[in-house]
Amino acid sequence: MIPRQRQRQLKGMGTQLLLIVFSLAMVYPVIWWVGASFKGNEEMSSPNIFPTDWLISNYIDGWNAIPGFTFGHFFGNTFLLILGVLFTTLISCSIVAFGFAKLDFPLRNFWFSLVLVTLMLPSQVTLVPQYVIFHDLGWVDTYLPFIVPHSLAGGIGGSFFIFLLVQFMRGLPRELDEAAKMDGCSWFGIYWRIALPLTKPALMTVGIYCFLWNWDDYFGQLIYINSVDKYTVQLALRMFIDSQSSLPWGQLLAMSLLSIVPAALIFLFAQKHFVEGIATSGLKG
């Protein structure tokens, strides 16, 4: 007869072993990806995870693979685009969320429901009308089609961000608003001095989501950006494909691996705020 404590230990070890197996299964593609980024084309079909000859030149040649540009230029373009989108998203969505959470105005619940309904609207439905509008405004081949909609609390994830912030702000004690109003503070002052500092966890979550979703927005960037000097990292990776010559898989995998580093670092170092913002957005004060 196995003692109960020993049974619990064996059960715990079995659970950990199972988690390790599943973790390795999930991590294996990334490990293969890292190894393949150092391989030559002739070794890509090899069953070995790691190459026999480690080609550091894949990273050097891939970095300078686009004539006239380096990937540093494309990374700079991507960060410029993301920072513009991130700043406008945090400001616009927090203002709209504050209005829904703290202000009383006619048909407030109706308008908020309308915002939530747009969560179910596929982006492909509005793609053609948006493109026509931006083309008529002369914004095609600029970053304005990405930044301007986010400055109006639209763009990728705008409705979700508003919902997330509204849920968080509703949990803030109303006594703080009443005390601020008694001290002569305006609604904008309450938003700026009280709501924003206390909403930091939710804002961090919104910022992480916004960064990741716009960093991966290949389709939108493909539609609106035409000039190579304005290309982002995602569009630059596409330029490795050439029907007239063989595809340098090692260089492509090396640059694609570098392309996920910023997003991975953002999530890694901001994970605490991300979890805190998600966990507290549904709580009431």
3: CB partners within 8 A, 6+ apart? none
Q: Could you tell me the two tokens for 135?
A: 């083309």
pLDDT, tens digit, 9 for 90 and up, residues 101-135: 999 889 999 999 999 898 888 888 888 999 999 99
Provide DSSP, 43-88.
GTT-S-SS-SS--THHHHHHHT-STT--HHHHHHHHHHHHHHHHHH
pLDDT higher than threshold 80 for residue 188: yes
Mean pLDDT of 206-226: 92
Q: Could you tell me the two tokens for 60?
A: 């050097």
Confidence at residue 280, expressed as pLDDT on a 0 to 100 scale: 57
Identify which of 106, 90, 202, 211 has the alpha carbon closest to the alpha carbon of residue 153. Answer: 90
Is the pLDDT higher at 231 or at 52?
231
CA 86 to mean position of chain CA atoms: 10
pTM for this predicted structure: 0.86
pLDDT higher than threshold 80 for residue 273: no
Round the CA-based radius of gyration of the chain to a whole number and report it. Answer: 24
* Residue that has been written with the tokens 């079909």 in this structure: 45
pLDDT, tens digit, 9 for 90 and up, residues 81-90: 999 999 999 9
Confidence at residue 138, expressed as pLDDT on a 0 to 100 scale: 94
pLDDT higher than threshold 90 for residue 222: yes
Question: Cβ distance 63 to 70 under 8 Å?
Answer: yes
Angle at 152 between CA 80 and CA 86, to 5 degrees: 30
Q: Say how many C-beta atoms besides its own lie within 10 A of residue 181's C-beta.
A: 13
Q: Please state, in angstroms and rounded to a whole number, the distance separating the CA atoms of residues 217 and 235.
A: 10
Q: Please state, in angstroms and rounded to a whole number, the distance separating the CA atoms of residues 173 and 102.
A: 11
pLDDT, tens digit, 9 for 90 and up, residues 15-71: 888 889 898 888 998 999 999 999 988 888 887 888 888 999 999 999 999 989 999
pLDDT band at 285 (very low <50, low <70, confident <90, very high): very low
Q: What is the mean pLDDT of the chain?
A: 87
